[in-house]
Amino acid sequence: MNINVYQKQSTDGKQAELLFIGYYENSEPKGECFKELDAHLEGQLSSLLKEDAGIGKKKTVTVVPLFNKAPHKKVVFVGLGKVEKATIKGLNQAIGAAVKQADKLGLATAAVCLESFTHDTYTSNEVAHALTESIVLASHTFENYKTDKKDTKGLEEVSILVCSEDVEEVEAGVQTGLAFAKGTCLARDLVNTPGNLMTPTKLAEQAVNIAETYGMEYSILEREEMEKLGMGALLAVAQGSAQPPKMIVLKYQGKETWDDVLAFVGKGLTFDTGGISLKPAASMHEMKMDMGGSAAVLGAMEVIGQLKPECNILAVIPSSENMPGSKALKPGDVITSLSGKTIEVRNTDAEGRLILADGITYAKQLGANYIVDLATLTGAIIIALGHTTTGAVTNDEDFMIDVLESSHEAGELVWRLPNFDEYLELVKSSDVADLNNAPGRPAGSITAGLFLGEFAEDTPWVHLDIAGTAWTGKSSELSQQGGTGVMVRTLSVLADRHAEKK
C-alpha cells in the first residue's frame, strides 16, 4: 500500500474513489474537505448528519454513495465518539473499523481528510501517525498456503490530505506510522507461520535479514558454541528436538559508545508440544505462536532500523523447539544454567523460562543495562487478565513506569503484578537445586516472572507475559485472527523514550 501526503488546495486536488472524514458526535466535521464537498452537494451531507445522530458514535462507519455528483464515488464517515472522551487509541480503532469496511467495497484508492480527525489534545504528527498505522494494520492479511487463492482487492493507494501548513509534521508522522505498522505486521507474519516453516534456523535467518538491511551487528550461536559457554538451560530444552537451537543476537548502536544499553530478550520457542509434560492435543496446533516474544523483538528491531533512534539496543533471542524425543528433558532433571544457578525441572512445559534464563544472562554479559523480556509464558496470565492485557513483573519501579508509559502511548495494555518475597519463596522451593521451574498453579504468572528475575538480578528488568495478547481467536478493528504483533509498538516507543532521556 502506498500512503502519501498532499497539501490540499481545492476539491479538485487529489481525487480518490473514497473520501474518509472523521466525525465527532454532535459537531460539524473539521477541515475544508467537508465544507467544500458539502457545498458542492448543496448541503446534503450536513442535512444527513443532522438527521442521523448515530453517525458520530464511536467506531460507527457510514458509507454514503455520491452517484457521480462529486470527485469521489463514496464518502466514508468515521464515527469518533464524544469529543470530550477522545483518545488516540479510540482514533486507531475507529479508522481501523472504517478501513475494514472500505476493503469490502473493493475500491483501490482513498483520501483521508486529516483535519477532520484532529483534536485539541493531538498534534498533527500524532494524528498522521495514528491514521497511517491503523490503515496499514487494518488492511494487513497473512498470506496463507491455500492453493485456491481468493482475489480480494483492497485499498492500494491512500492520500493524506492536509489543508494546514503542517505538511512536514504530517509527513514525519506518516513515516513513523508506516515504520510501526511494518514492524507489527512482520511480527504477525512470523507468529502465523507454521512450525515446520518457522524453525529456530528460519527465525535466525529473519534476524540476519533485518541486521543486514539496516546495518546492525549480529551473531548466531550454534549448539557447539553454547556448550562451550555453558548455556545448559537452553540446551536442555532443545535436546529433545532434531532442530538445532540458536542463540540469536542483534546489536543496534545509535551512540558512539556501546553503553547505556537497552536489551530486549524474546522467547523464541518456535513450537511447543510441552515436551514430556505433553500439552492437550485439541489446541496444540496453535503452539506455533509460542515464539511471539521473539517476533515482537524482531518487529521492534525492524522499526528501530527504520527510525534510527540515538540509543543502543541489544536484541537477544534464545530459540529452540520443545519436543518429547528420546533425549528430551524429563521431570525431575536438574540442569545448570549459563549463570551457574541450578534448576530442578518439575514440569517440562515450563520451558520458556528456562531458555529465557540463559537469554537474560547472556544479555547481561553483552552489556545490557536495562532488560525487557517478552514471552508467551503462562496460561495463568490468561486467567488473570484475559486476552486484552499483558502482565508485567519487575525489580525496578522507575523502569516499570517507563515501560507502562510507553505501552500507554502505544495503545497496548499492560498491568503490573506483585513481586512480594512470599512468591519468590515458591520459586526457591526445590530440595535439590537453587530454583524450581514450576512451583504450582497458584500465582503461576507471578512465580514464572520472578523465576526470570533471579537471572536479571540487580539489572533493572521488566518481564512481559504476552501469552494472552500475542494471539487472538477473532479479528478486531486492527487485526485478523491469529498473531497480533503485540508489544512491537511498546518496545519501539520505549526505545525512542530511551534515546530522548540520554
CATH number at residue 81: 3.40.220.10
The vertex-444 CA angle with 441 and 446, nearest 5°, equals: 155
Distance in angstroms (rounded) separating the CA atoms of residues 211 and 131:
28
142 and 228 both lie in a single domain:
no
Give domain status of residue 464, yes or no: yes
What's the pLDDT score for residue 70?
83
Count of domains forming the chain:
2
Distance in angstroms (rounded) separating the CA atoms of residues 245 and 231:
11
Mean pLDDT of 223-236: 98
Distance in angstroms (rounded) separating the CA atoms of residues 1 and 390:
30
Mean pLDDT of 65-77: 90
204 and 117 both lie in a single domain:
no
Neighbouring C-beta atoms of residue 100, cutoff 10 Å? 18
134 and 168 both lie in a single domain:
yes
Give the position of cell 514471552. Answer: 375
What's the pLDDT score for residue 179?
98
150 and 242 both lie in a single domain:
no
171 and 317 both lie in a single domain:
no
Mean pLDDT of 14-24: 89
What is the distance between the terminal CA atoms of the chain, rounded to a whole angstrom? 35
Residues in the chain: 502
What's the pLDDT score for residue 67?
87
**What value does the CA radius of gyration of the chain take, rounded to a whole number of Å?**
24
**Among residues 73, 353, 364, 489, which one is catalytic?**
353
* Farthest CA pair distance, the chain: 83
pLDDT tens figures, 301-331? 999 999 999 999 999 999 999 999 999 999 9
Q: Which residues are annotated as a binding site for Mn(2+)?
A: 267, 272, 290, 349, 351
**Domain, as residue range, for 148:** 2-181
Distance in angstroms (rounded) separating the CA atoms of residues 251 and 312:
8
Give domain status of residue 225, yes or no: yes
Burial of residue 327, with CB atoms counted within 10 A of its CB: 0-12 exposed, 13-18 middle, 19 or more buried: exposed
The two counts, helices (H) then strands (E), for the chain are 15, 20
pLDDT of 217 above 80: yes
pLDDT tens figures, 459-494? 999 999 999 999 999 999 999 999 999 999 999 999
What's the pLDDT score for residue 477?
94
Give domain status of residue 311, yes or no: yes
- Cβ-Cβ contacts under 8 Å for 143 (sequence gap 6 or more): 189
Mean pLDDT of 248-273: 98
What's the pLDDT score for residue 198?
98
Neighbouring C-beta atoms of residue 205, cutoff 10 Å? 13
What's the pLDDT score for residue 286?
96
- Which residue from 24, 126, 130, 23 is spatially nearest to 84, judged by alpha carbons? 24
Name the band, by pLDDT with cuts 50, 70 and 90, for residue 9: low
284 and 155 both lie in a single domain:
no
DSSP string, 64-87: EE-TTSSSSSEEEEEE---GGG--
User: What grid cell was written down for 394?
Assistant: 519487575
For residue 114, give Cα distances in angstroms to 128, 178, 199.
7, 16, 43
Neighbouring C-beta atoms of residue 93, cutoff 10 Å? 21
DSSP string, 233-292: HHHHHHTT-SSPPEEEEEEEE-SSSS-SEEEEEE-EEEEE--TTSPPPSTTGGGGGGGGH
Name the band, by pLDDT with cuts 50, 70 and 90, for residue 56: very high
What's the pLDDT score for residue 10?
41
What's the pLDDT score for residue 13?
46
pLDDT tens figures, 101-115? 998 898 899 999 999
294 and 331 both lie in a single domain:
yes
99 and 204 both lie in a single domain:
no
Judge contact between 373 and 357, C-beta under 8 A.
no
What's the pLDDT score for residue 12?
44
The lowest-confidence range among 8-17, 96-105, 150-159, 245-254 is: 8-17
Name the band, by pLDDT with cuts 50, 70 and 90, for residue 14: low
301 and 366 both lie in a single domain:
yes
Here the contacts of 224-233 (C-beta below 8 Å, separation 24 or greater) are: 229/338, 229/362, 230/336, 230/338, 230/340, 231/318, 231/337, 231/338, 231/358, 231/362, 232/335, 232/336, 232/337, 232/338, 232/358, 233/335, 233/336, 233/337, 233/338, 233/343, 233/354, 233/355, 233/357, 233/358
Give the position of cell 549448539. Answer: 223
Distance in angstroms (rounded) separating the CA atoms of residues 447 and 426:
7
> How many CA atoms lie less than 13 Å away from 313 in the CB half-sphere?
31
Q: Is 441 a catalytic residue?
A: no
**Among residues 279, 330, 341, 502, which one is catalytic?**
279
Name the band, by pLDDT with cuts 50, 70 and 90, for residue 371: very high
What's the pLDDT score for residue 499?
95
pLDDT of 153 above 80: no
Mean pLDDT of 343-349: 98
pLDDT of 4 above 70: yes
Give the position of cell 522507575. Answer: 398
Judge contact between 117 and 127, C-beta under 8 A.
yes
Mean pLDDT of 232-246: 98
Give domain status of residue 477, yes or no: no
> How many CA atoms lie less than 13 Å away from 438 in the CB half-sphere?
20
Give domain status of residue 138, yes or no: yes
Give domain status of residue 497, yes or no: no
319 and 391 both lie in a single domain:
yes
Q: What is the CATH number of the domain that holds 257?
A: 3.40.630.10
Give domain status of residue 327, yes or no: yes
Percentage of the chain lying above the pLDDT 70 cut = 98
pLDDT of 85 above 70: yes
Q: Is 353 a catalytic residue?
A: yes
DSSP string, 310-325: SSEEEEEEEEEEE---
What's the pLDDT score for residue 11?
42
What's the pLDDT score for residue 92?
96
158 and 271 both lie in a single domain:
no
Q: State whether residue 162 is helix, strand or coil.
A: strand
Give domain status of residue 56, yes or no: yes
pLDDT tens figures, 431-441? 999 999 999 99
410 and 352 both lie in a single domain:
yes
- Cβ-Cβ contacts under 8 Å for 127 (sequence gap 6 or more): 91, 114, 117, 118, 119, 170, 173
Name the band, by pLDDT with cuts 50, 70 and 90, for residue 152: low
Neighbouring C-beta atoms of residue 253, cutoff 10 Å? 15
Mean pLDDT of 415-428: 97
Q: Which residues are annotated as a binding site?
A: 267, 272, 290, 349, 351
Q: State whether residue 482 is helix, strand or coil.
A: strand
Judge contact between 291 and 198, C-beta under 8 A.
yes
pLDDT of 218 above 90: yes
Distance in angstroms (rounded) separating the CA atoms of residues 206 and 270:
13
User: What grid cell was written down for 38?
Assistant: 458539502
